[in-house]
Structure 1
């Protein structure tokens, strides 16, 4: 019988094998305290930033709501615009307990440049400080605020997309359903990056 050099088990390409070996242990062990975990994910995302001259950012206090006001970061392409910019409301991931504008700075700037849009980033309250539905209601309040008052910031409130990654994509999916039910916010697009959509 001819030996074709086949092995008894599955074979991974070297790049895939290296990735799998690097990521077999979670970056945040379950016994690490929350403050240390937050520092860790910030350090993991600490890459050379995009040229900040390509975008500009401002912090705004979000609207009052029963679950507390939150800071909102608005990132847009640099330069004056004759017309209002379309909007991407971006909800960050990292398990509802981690993440902020630092961990997601690169994607906010990339989206603003790539889509030629203003990216609105609600810095919602994290667990365990806040429990469901606090973050969802805070993000909804920001989306409603963009709808009602976005024109004052040079935003096109008729062109609002909703996006999120991981647990933020979960919030985005829930927020879309909430908007349909309540009827006072309308999203023209929804983009879910690696969404958490079930418990499995």
Structure 2
């Protein structure tokens, strides 16, 4: 299917700016480009009832968190919670890069969202991001009363690299090594470090994420090739997905991660996990953070939120 006109406008803008491909940049340069692009691509962040910066103990020091409360909720009201892991290839991104997405999800959910600022590669390589995600989930469950969160309705979610981390948390919860989340929201997730699917070969240039860009991310995050088959890096390689939390998986058509996202949704279904799969055929990777130019971004966030609200019994 042809690319959405808004997404095509983003590609035209990137081309006109003469921005080098991601894999030709250093991590510091890539982060600076990401920061500069935010006001151009992201819509104004919506108002919420409350925002609070927090931190939880982590294996290498405090892990910054940001707690959002949905517009229309009252102080002290006990809310369900989505623990959100941002995308950015485990190299880029922070609490600010996904502030607008987290605010929108909080409002669409009518719930709380807690975003996690996990350590980034190459400064902190695999499994540092996993360890920080684990610390955040344990903290939210342990401090649920103080955070005014319903401990029986905690979900995990994220986009791209964050979807990878959320899937890993769901597997760990199934196995009992962390508190088990009740739901996993996986938005164009990375699920396999092999990077040899047909969709990886199709998207080689001209997109925000290409095959070379994905190799750049993986080389920074998991430089040891032997570790790439670890299911904590490649959840698609877990021996079984049975018994993991109910899932919402979103894939998009113009995305090198398409096939591994499809494979993950298919395996969840085949192994008895309740899964809703949304495929957005005319969109490209990372479009959820481009809502100023791609109005469909907010529609997708609403659809993801609707699936979680249904699971929580809010609709």
Tell me the TM-score normalized by structure 1: 0.82
Cα displacement (A) at 1:82: 5.9
Q: Which has the higher helix share?
A: 2
In the alignment, is residue 41 of structure 1 matched against residue 34 of structure 2? yes
CA pair 122-28 structure 1, distance change in 2 beyond 3 A: farther
CA distance in 2, matches of 1:14, 1:88: 29
CA contact (8 A) 1:147 1:158 kept: no
Q: Provide, for residues 66-122 of structure 1, a one-character-per-residue CA deviation record: whole Å limited to 9, x for no partner.
A: 333211111112441563110000001110000111111111000000001111111
Secondary structure of 2:114 counterpart = strand
CA distance in 1, matches of 2:149, 2:7: 45
Cα displacement (A) at 1:20: 9.3
Secondary structure of 2:121 counterpart = coil
Equivalent pairs counted in the alignment come to: 188
Alignment of 1:93-172 (within 5 A): 93-172=87-166
CA pair 55-130 structure 1, distance change in 2 beyond 3 A: same
| Alignment correspondent of 2:78 | 84
Tell me the TM-score normalized by structure 2: 0.54
CA contact (8 A) 1:69 1:138 kept: no
Cα displacement (A) at 1:15: 3.5
C-alpha RMSD of matched pairs (Å)? 2.7
Q: Provide, for residues 129-182 of structure 1, a one-character-per-residue CA deviation record: whole Å limited to 9, x for no partner.
A: 111111111111110111111111111111101111001101111111112223
Alignment counterpart, residue 72 of structure 1, candidates 47, 65, 76: 65
| Greater Rg by CA | 1
In the alignment, is residue 32 of structure 1 matched against residue 13 of structure 2? no
Alignment counterpart, residue 181 of structure 1, candidates 175, 178, 181: 175
Q: Provide, for residues 45-68 of structure 1, a one-character-per-residue CA deviation record: whole Å limited to 9, x for no partner.
A: 22342343x3421111112x3333
CA pair 153-36 structure 1, distance change in 2 beyond 3 A: same
